[in-house]
Amino acid sequence: MHPAKTPVTSRGRAKHVIAVLVVPDSVALEVAVVHQVFGPRMSAIVELTDDAESAYEVVLCGEQPRQVLPSGVDFGELAPLETLLTADTVMVPGVDDPLAERPLPVLAALRGAAGNGARLVSFCGGAFLLARAGLLDGRRATTHWLFTEEFRREFPDVRLEPGCLYLDDGPVHTSGGVFSATDLALHLLAEDLGQAYAGDVGRLLVMAPRRPGAQAQFVKDSIRIAGEPALGSFLAWLREHLHEPLTLSSLAGHLHLSERSLVRKFRHATGMTVFDWINRERVASAQVLLETTEHRISEIAAMVGFGSAETLRRHFERQVGTTAGSYRTTFRAALVPG
């Protein structure tokens, strides 16, 4: 069982309200991602009970009372735009035409939500809507790599980082292509309810292992380098061996590569250095153990490969922004016998 912890809200409600902005060219798959990850059905499955209370209430909102996409997808009745103003999180799915102008009431509602303290989230081309509302100026953000030039031309005040799967900048979260929407959704779920819960949801969705936001989007020229062994199976192997004393030499030998080739290929595929990636994964493993076990922090440090509690503390605080002890207090699951 997982903790029945409700994400912190600013409205004093029992549930965290997620308002999803639906426009005439919304990408239906990304709207579905929100329902799948944050909806009550997923909560019931993870908690193994039919009456599990979801920590979230997902509400579809729009300028029109009903929205049917040209593809025939019918979102049904929509809540009014004003719902965004009282939501705890506002999510903007991707759109088929990112460069299109948007109605002033839509942009005003997004600005109002931000002014009222909502967490703002965009998937793929949804970043264009946040940018048109002026909500990304001066912030780091990402979007689909295909629209990099157009985005930079239209919004020069945004610090665009198109190589990332997803990015956090304070209360604003943006992601790249369609499937990185799920990566960002699981990342937010982990922030709210813990890594163990998010990991269970990811497994139920049959997701690939957790991908950090700094991992590179797989643009056309980096999907495969001629003669390069696929790194996917190597990353899976690494996750199974995080507890071992890993060196660049031993890892290069495992792939039958030179150290220089491994460094170059790893960064090209993930956007990170080998040991930045390893340390992030070790911290993520430590988060799960802090949530679900009674092991001492020094024991967890050894179990995930950091070796010492001090090394774990240093990397944990840098990555998570709080101490391991504080994290455990907030997120530890109740251990239910049997």
pLDDT at 6: 45
Greatest mean pLDDT range, 70-74, 206-210, 315-319: 315-319
Bridge partners (DSSP) of residue 58 are 18
The pTM of the full predicted model, rounded to 2 decimals, is: 0.70
pLDDT in tens, 153-190: 999 999 998 878 899 999 999 998 777 888 899 999 98
pLDDT at 233: 78
Mean residue pLDDT of the chain comes to 83
- pLDDT, average across residues 5-29: 79
Rounded CA separation 102/165 (Å): 25
**Position 16 confidence tier, pLDDT thresholds 50, 70, 90:** very high
Rounded CA separation 242/320 (Å): 18
User: How many residues in the chain?
Assistant: 338
Rounded CA separation 265/284 (Å): 23
pLDDT at 176: 86
How many C-beta atoms surround the C-beta of residue 236 within 10 A? 11
- Give residue 47's identity as a one-letter amino acid code: E
pLDDT at 156: 96
Two tokens, residue 82:
């004003």
- pLDDT, average across residues 88-117: 96
How many C-beta atoms surround the C-beta of residue 48 within 10 A? 8
> Does position 269 have pLDDT exceeding 90, yes or no?
no
> Does position 209 have pLDDT exceeding 70, yes or no?
no
> Does position 151 have pLDDT exceeding 80, yes or no?
yes
> Read out DSSP for 230-271?
PSHHHHHHHHHTTTS---HHHHHHHHT--HHHHHHHHHHHHS
Rounded CA separation 235/251 (Å): 11
